[in-house]
Structure 1
Amino acid sequence: MGSCYCDIAPGHPLHGPYHDHEYGFPQRDEPVLFERLLLEINQAGLSWETILRKREGFRLAYDGFDVDTVADYGEADRARLLADARIIRNRLKVDAAIHNAGVIRGLRDTHGGFAQWLDAHASESSRPRDKASWVKLFKRTFRFTGGEITGEFLMSLGYLPGAHRAGCPALRRIAAARKALGV
C-alpha cells in the first residue's frame, strides 16, 4: 500500500473506514474471515482501493460470503462469476474462492471452524508463528495464498504485527476489540 497506511488512510472515503474499524482487528465470524481471504486473494496485482470499491460487488456475487453456498458452486456459478463486472474476473481467483470455501467448511470438522484453525496454529508453539511458517501452512492448505496475500490476510486480522504504526489511534480500538473477544 505504499507509504504507511496509517498516514494515508484517515479521511479517505474507502481506506479511512477500513483502516479505522477493520484493519488489524480480530475477527471470529466465518463469513468475515472468508471475505477477508477472498478480498486479499483478489487484490493480488491490483490496488487495495480497487478491491474496496468492488467490495459490495464481491458480497453480492459470492452470496454474502456464505462458505457453504460458495463451496457448492458448480460450473454455472463459475461462468456467472467470470462474467460479473462487479468483481475481478480471473479464473484462478474464482477457482481459489470456491476451493477455499470448501477447505474452510472442512475446518469445522477438524478444528471447529476457520477462526479456531487460525488460533490453533497461532499458538501451537511457545512463541508466535512467523510469517514464513504461516505462508507454508497456507500454501499447504489453501489455493492462491502466496507470501503477500497470506501476510496481508494475517496482518489484517492481528495474527501478524504491523497493521498500524505505533501511536495510531486505531490501536486503542483494536486492544478493546481483542479484550472483548478474549484474544
Structure 2
Amino acid sequence: MSYCSYIETLVGDRKELNKNYHDKHYGFPIHNDNELFGRLILEINQAGLSWETILKKEQSFRKAYNNFDIKKIAGYTKTDRQRLLADTGIIRNKLKINAAIENAKTILALQKEYGSFEKWLEHHHPRTKDEWVKLFKKTFLFTGGEIVNEFLMSIGYLREAHSENCPVHKEILKQNPMWTRNKI
C-alpha cells in the first residue's frame, strides 16, 4: 500500500498521530454542522503553528468549546472569552477565540437561511480555491487562503487531500459523490 508521501516520512508517535487523522478524517465528508464548525475552529487555530500541535490539543479544544456546539459558542460571554484565554490546553490567542465566537454567530444565521452550515457549503459548491477564499473572507473572521484551503480539503470539498495512489483517496471516492461529479 502506498500512502501519501508525508505520512511515509514520519516515525513513532508522530506517525501514529498523523496517520490516524490522515486515514480516518482528512478529506472525508462531514455531515454534522458542529463537527464542520469544529474543523473550522481547528484550522483557524492552526494558523502559524503545525497541524500536529492542533491534533495533540484536539480533545482540549473540544472540552473548552463545548464539543463545538455552535449555539453554545455563539452565546459565549466576556467570562467565556476570559476562560478560553486562560485555558492552557488550547491556543490562547484573542483573535482566534473571538473568531470562533463570531463565526458561530454567523453560522447560526447561515443555518437559518440555508437550513445548515453544510447546505450553505453545498449551495456554493463547486468553486475554485480562489472563489472559496473570497467567499470565506467575506463571510467569516480569520479565514485566509491557507485556512480556507485546508478546511475545504479536510472536509472533502477540494480533491487534493490525498495523492491518487493513496488507499485513503480511493475510500473517499466511494464516500464522496462530489469528487466523482466535480474535478475542483
Indicate the residue corresponding to 1:5 in structure 2.
6
Alpha carbons 1:6, 1:168 under 8 Å: kept? no
Residues 10 and 109 (structure 1 numbering): CA distance in 2 closer, same or farther, change over 3 Å?
farther
Normalized against structure 2, the TM-score is what?
Answer: 0.89
1:105 aligns to 2:103 (yes or no): no
Indicate the residue corresponding to 1:168 in structure 2.
166
Quote the sequence identity (%). 53
Tell which deviates more after alignment, 165-174 or 60-69: 165-174
Distance 2:142 2:62 in 1: 19
Shift of 1:4: 4.4
Residues 9 and 64 (structure 1 numbering): CA distance in 2 closer, same or farther, change over 3 Å?
farther
Once the two structures are superposed, residues 116-160 of structure 1 have per-residue CA deviations (whole angstroms, 9 ceiling, x without a partner) of 0000000xxxxx310111000000000000000000000111111
Which one has a larger percent helix, Structure 1 or Structure 2? 2
Tell me which of 94, 99, 116 is aligned to 1:96.
99
Cα RMSD, aligned residues only: 1.9
Indicate the residue corresponding to 2:121 in structure 1.
118
Q: Structure 2 matches for 1:1-183, cutoff 5 A?
A: 4-8=5-9, 12-122=15-125, 128-178=126-176
Distance 2:109 2:9 in 1: 38
Letter in 2 for 1:134: W
Letter in 2 for 1:110: E
Normalized against structure 1, the TM-score is what?
Answer: 0.90
Count of aligned positions:
174
Once the two structures are superposed, residues 21-52 of structure 1 have per-residue CA deviations (whole angstroms, 9 ceiling, x without a partner) of 11011111011101100000000000000000
